[in-house]
Chains A and B, each alone.
Chain A
Amino acid sequence: MLVGGRLTDRPVAATMWFSPAGGLPLPPFENPAMARRALLTLVASTLCLLLVGAPSPGTGEPPKVAAGDSPPIDFCREIIPVLTKLGCNQGACHGAQLGKGGFRQSLFGFDPDNDYQQIVLALKGRRISYSRPEESLILKKPLLHVAHAGGKRLKENSEAYRRLVTWIADGAPGPKANEPTLTAIQVEPQAQALQPGGSLQLRVTAKWSDGKTEDVTEFAQYDSLTEGQASVDAAGKVTGVGTGEGAVMIRYLGQAAVCRTSAPYGSPTTVDDFGDHLVDRLLAKKWEQLGLVPSPAASDAEFLRRVQLDLIGTTPTPDEVRAFLADANPDKRTKLVDDLLERPEYADYWTLKWGDLLRNNRTYLEPKGMWCLHQWLRSSFIANKPLDEFARELLTAQGSTFQEGPANFYRVGTTPADWGESASQLFLGVRMQCAKCHHHPFEKWSQDDYYGLAACFARVGNKPSQEYGLFGRETVIFLRPNGEVSHPRKPGAVKPRAPEGPAFNETQDRREQLAAWLTAKDNPYFARNLVNRYWAYCFGRGLVEPIDDLRATNPASNEPLLQALTERFIADGYDVKKLLRLLVTSRAYQISSQAVPGNQADVENKFHTRYRVRRLAAEQLADALDAATGTREKYQGLPAGTRAIQLPDASIPSYLLTIFGRPGRRQACECERTATPNLAQALHLLNGDFLGGKIARQGGRVDRLFQQKKPLPEVVEELYLATLCRTPSPPELVKALSLIKETPSPRVGAEDLLWALVNSPEFLFNH
């Protein structure tokens, strides 16, 4: 007897089988993986002979023919993916912490023991019927044969149903000890051109620790990360939606992978003559693939203001602008960069950045500890300490928090878990927090990784010291001879190890071993994370975005570039100044922020075809206002003349800084600094007496210009240089002069002009 079915979508011929026992009907399958699986299992359970006339797609191997009794269905390997695919254990349903409707599953099935207990043992086994598997509550609910708030999830004729029923009929065997684990999933294709309207079928292969590989296309989960570019259905069929680069996330049993699609924005372009610079070459290559063209070069004035803000957080003075514009040296931009990297503001500005990341804050550290960490940061940047050394000093710090700056790292958090989380987010760019309570939903990180990392810090102790007096509240960080971390679901102490890395030995400081792993040249995260951060500080958007969320399922917008920069950074010995110099001397950094028709289609400016416009950070803005008005804000408790970028912590009161998004330094996340506009910002600058007072202040810029009795056109030019860092264009000059003439006195007019200039977007934004 011959029954035939055709596998579509692949260069596959016909499939036939002969059944001596009388044959079973084979429904047509849309999904080739499902058809293969169904054939094999039917064959296995009915002792048929199978002849398959076509190779299995992708690998070229013919499917294996099994005979005899098929092995029992494996709970971890075969049932959990089904439950996950059906959505049973998602966060909104039974995967919630307390479950739903009295039925509790672990989120995406990370805890098979719990899931088995809940399905099979809980409610005295009422959810399962061994002798009448199809009558099991666990099936009748998702089939909607009885009321189910989650609706119909399961179809009677599906492979999922067949698998569940067979599992129950086999006696619902539970998770076994020493079960093979899933080591990786592989998706084919990993990257493919996909025009809007086109489609492609993904194929997912699971690799197990016992060497088995398995096609899991049917039960993998698919999510589009970029709905505007590509959509994906539950069977793994990707459909092109729009232009640009798309990404589809594939998840299976705690492992994740990504398939990338791309559709050019326009016809392929050639970006000629964009230069040999590493950054330019690789960006241009991407632009050519995507049919984009870069915006034209920025003017000298634009570049000067931009690079000063990005490297030292400070706007140039009118004299600096004049000198730079007048300089005829063709290498003046490179020379400027070299000069900026040696200025004292460089250390101030990057101390501020890293102070945010390390949460340098007197509420955690006491004023003395805060100053100590601040000074350590400052001296590190003055000395241009390589970042691997920087990280090592921080992680392995010991001693008094009032004397050893980096030791304060261990006072910001209080538990090994805190320190593990911070270290991971800072230096790996990995957000581990999810894995504290359950397997990371989009990543491979498990609770084992989380607690293994925390165990590296298990022996850090602290004790009070009286060196600074009984109430000095000094803390000494030291290493204890013992101390372990326990796993919430497993007995015994957790062995210290790096995420995904080998377990550390017990004889040495665990932190030393962690730091050595972290700063090893082949560490896949450390340099990559730092390069991505510094890229984002210069270009306004990380190659991976958000910048501290590096993971396989968050692909970089230009992977070759990130790779090349990472390699260069490692080769340069983790030298930050060299990295910054490399980035800002690229031509790509020096292009205009204005879109041109050839790159407008990339609305998000994901591919850096133009400079990304950003509002000045709170501290940059405060200093720029000071510079523009020629006054100095006085910050409480600090000497006069202290600038906002020199502030050591976030608790120094300043309304301006607060409303413009100064972070409270409570999280190790870049996201704590906000750039969102709000009404208070506008009102504070438009009609607060704060700005009015600064503009009109005696000894301020306007006052001084009038003291010096400068002619009006010069006053206008000076105000333009002090705010927008450029000279006014002739029409602007005419307009400004006529504005001043309309006012009661030239001085009031000049003040009005300054007020208008600092409220202009050109001043408020880095462009």
Chain B
Amino acid sequence: MDLAKRMKDAGTWISNRSGPIALAVLLFYGFFFVGNFSTETNLTAILLQYSIIGCLALGQLIVILTGGIDLSQGSQIALATVVCAVVMSRFGVIPGIIMALLIPTMVGFSTGLLVSRLKMPAFIVTLGMLGVSRGLAMRIANARPVSINIDGFKQFGYATLLRIPVAAIIFGIAAILVLYLLKKRKLGRYLYAVGSSEESTRLSGVNIMKVKLFAYTASGFLTAVGGVLLAARLGSGSPIGGSGYELESIAAVVVGGGSLFGGIGGVGGTVSGVFLFGVINSILNLTGIPPFWQGTMKGLIILAAVALSQMRKKSRNGA
């Protein structure tokens, strides 16, 4: 009986960390059984590409914790790259970055206002904002990619510090800040509270409007950070880029154990969710499986992850 209990505890321990464990298994497989996986070029490529989606996923996590969803991220990242490119070529690097960070943050702020003040469903508001941001990006860029002619900024997109891509370092800092916010700050705990039960949080005297407003603004800002990194990597602003990124970030949060009903999820899970997709894509590419199968793998992983988190919920209720 003692053994049975210990087995069960071990089972819960594992299922609570399914994202990181799956990532570790895949990394192990990649390092030892897939040629060229452990090369610096490959690992750098994974870090470069998925750090950007990682920034979006952190924002998405904050929103999903409150029980909301942000569908506008994909368009907002396009808006950020376009603003970055346009402002940068006229006024220089620093104003470009500042404006690129500012505008999606403002879009996120207005989303937050609509969701919190007017009590509109996040799904619809961010669906509308998806259109608004895409339209703005297309208008500013005149529906054409805007190239960036500043070499320093473009090099920044691929720069490394101690052989780690700067983009990954920025993403790491963002992840640590979000982790600190969620674990150590009152506001972070409120995010979980609002997602678990909005009504009881409100009744305990928390200003839930402010909490929600913060969540969408933060999502806009983190998306903008991803946008600046993307602009630097592409060396241009692309008004049609980034479509579908919102679904990738949602998938990462969910695979990392987050619940779309709010209140459940964490930075560790989300980050491992992001790189799980990165590592799998890389392994599939390197083992010569046709790229068309990648979507199937991705879909099956998402399904497995939600099924697992569902089982976890059931066992928690049963206990």
Query: Do the two chains belong together in a single complex?
Result: no
